[in-house]
Amino acid sequence: MHVDPMPIDELVTLVNEWGTLPCRVDGRAPRPGAASTVLADELHPVFAAPDAATRATLVTALLRATDVRPTLGLDLTEAWTVAEPAEAPRAAAALTLRHHLAEHPGRLGVCADDQCADVYVDASPAGKRRFCCLTCQNRARAAAFRRRRAAQRLPAGGGPAD
Ligand SMILES: [Zn+2]
């Protein structure tokens, strides 16, 4: 069966909508056992990985597990196949990550806000993105501001604020 890589935005949406951790952290009920949840939970660690070598190992394991094979399309373009149709979504995701990481190493991540575990692709010019969205960025900034203010209000000796 022929497989095409999925658009990276679609992959990010899949992980964030279906992943057990993204659901649990922001208070949505995870859907254990659903095919999309199983796949999302395999992909989330690629975004959470601390370094390139770990990402490479995870993506290679995904590619191997799906047994996706390179072929040549009849129009002489790059093409991919899997023997087992049920593996097509996993193979499509693995191909997407393989391609993305080979082109932009390191530009994947998990939201730095502590009330969110959504993943993102960093398309910013500087490559310093830390949050999945502006809402999380603003929430984290507001929380940091409140923490600093509370710390300033503490009397010497460190009693509770207010
Ligand atoms: Zn977030």
CATH of residue 111: 1.10.3300
pLDDT by residue (tens digit) across 31-90?
998 999 999 999 999 999 999 999 999 999 999 999 999 999 899 999 999 999 999 999
Q: Is residue 109 part of a domain?
A: yes
What is the phi/psi pair of residue 83, to 5°?
-75, -35
Which residues sit with Cβ closer than 5 angstroms to ligand 1, an ion? 111, 113, 116, 118, 132, 136
In the chain, the number of structural domains is: 1
Gap from CA of 87 to ligand 1 centroid (Å): 29
Residue 126 has pLDDT above 90, yes or no: no
Residue 21 has pLDDT above 60, yes or no: yes
Gap from CA of 82 to ligand 1 centroid (Å): 34
Q: Is residue 42 part of a domain?
A: yes
How far apart CA 58 and CA 100 sit, in angstroms, is 14
Gap from CA of 20 to ligand 1 centroid (Å): 15
pLDDT of residue 153: 82
Q: Token match 């310093």: residue?
A: 128
pLDDT of residue 162: 56
Gap from CA of 117 to ligand 1 centroid (Å): 6
How far apart CA 33 and CA 55 sit, in angstroms, is 24
Measured at the CA of 28, the angle between CA 136 and CA 44, to 5 degrees, comes to 70
Confidence band for 118, pLDDT divided at 50, 70 and 90: very high
Q: Is residue 56 part of a domain?
A: yes
Confidence band for 104, pLDDT divided at 50, 70 and 90: confident
Residue 158 has pLDDT above 80, yes or no: no
- pTM to 2 decimal places: 0.87
Residue 6 domain boundaries: 2-153
Gap from CA of 158 to ligand 1 centroid (Å): 32
